[in-house]
Amino acid sequence: MQATRPTDTRVSVHLHSPQNEAPPHPGAGWTRFVCISDTHSGIFRLPYGDVLLHAGDLSSYGALSQLTRTVDWLKSLKHPVKIMIAGNHDVSSYGGSSLAFQLIQYARTTVRSLASAGLYYLEHEPLHFTGPSGKVWKVYGSPAVPVHLDGAFQYASSTEAKAIYQRIPEDTEILITHTPPYRTLDKTRKGQHVGCQVLASRLKKLRHCRLHVFGHIHEDAGARVDGVEGMHRVSVNAAVPLSDNIVVVDMHD
């Protein structure tokens, strides 16, 4: 896993691992995002940050016990804001593709709601939250992926994909999707780029998007930084199963 560090003084990207600790939080006026994906019911050692972003595949195959394990782990973490989406492995045991039903059923059995623990689940929807300095960050989360074998939240045509990604507000600053966009950290072991071309096209119009976090393609985990409309956009494939590294992104408000 590699991270490309920009020259822009408003953003910094680090890799956190037992051998390579992230530097101290940069302080007032900055928000630290800790990015993970594809945990598949596993529990990992994470660095502290202001915001934890989980880009899907919370479970291995959508069993409620697996989701409960992941949600309990996320709830226990000290990050003030924790935002998660689902992925293609989060197949509903109840016959539908919506993970929300299972999460709601689980939440009903707990004393505290998910939101009261600072944990938010997004399924094709936006969320605004206030960072430590008072800045309001605009987030959007979508679990959708191009169709591949059996799984949840999959689309089979560009028409379906356009309908899904057109819903992303143009003022989105933090985008969380399960699939990568085409030719951005989406290369398989066979050397094929399997990210979504429609999502890549949509990102060209999201001129306020400063951070895009995704997963799905485990073997191309990492981060890169591109210049977009006079700013730097950080793209993070946050899949953790094949690496001990966790991507940490510091952004100046």
pLDDT in tens, 67-77: 889 999 999 99
pLDDT tens per residue across span 159-207: 999 999 999 999 999 999 999 999 999 999 999 999 999 999 999 999 9
pLDDT exceeds cutoff 60 at 8: no
Alpha helices in 86-181 (DSSP H): 99-107, 158-165
pLDDT at 20: 84
Where is pLDDT greater, at 109 or 180? Answer: 180
Q: Is the pTM of this model over 0.75?
A: yes
User: Pick from 196, 166, 171, 194: which is nearest to 181 by CA?
Assistant: 196
* Distance in angstroms (rounded) separating the CA atoms of residues 132 and 178: 26
* Distance in angstroms (rounded) separating the CA atoms of residues 196 and 106: 32
* Distance in angstroms (rounded) separating the CA atoms of residues 53 and 83: 5
What share of the chain in percent tops pLDDT 70? 88
User: Pick from 197, 208, 199, 212: which is nearest to 247 by CA?
Assistant: 212
The torsion angle over the Cα atoms of residues 11, 28, 74 and 180, rounded to 10 degrees, is: -10
Q: Which domains does the chain have, with CATH numbers?
A: 11-252 (3.60.21.10)
In this prediction, residue 108 has a pLDDT band, given cuts at 50, 70 and 90, of low
Q: What is the mean pLDDT of residues 26-44?
A: 95
The tokens 């596993």 sit on which residue? Answer: 42
Three-class SS of residue 24? Answer: coil
* Distance in angstroms (rounded) separating the CA atoms of residues 119 and 96: 23
Q: What is the mean pLDDT of residues 222-228?
A: 93
Residues counted in the chain: 253
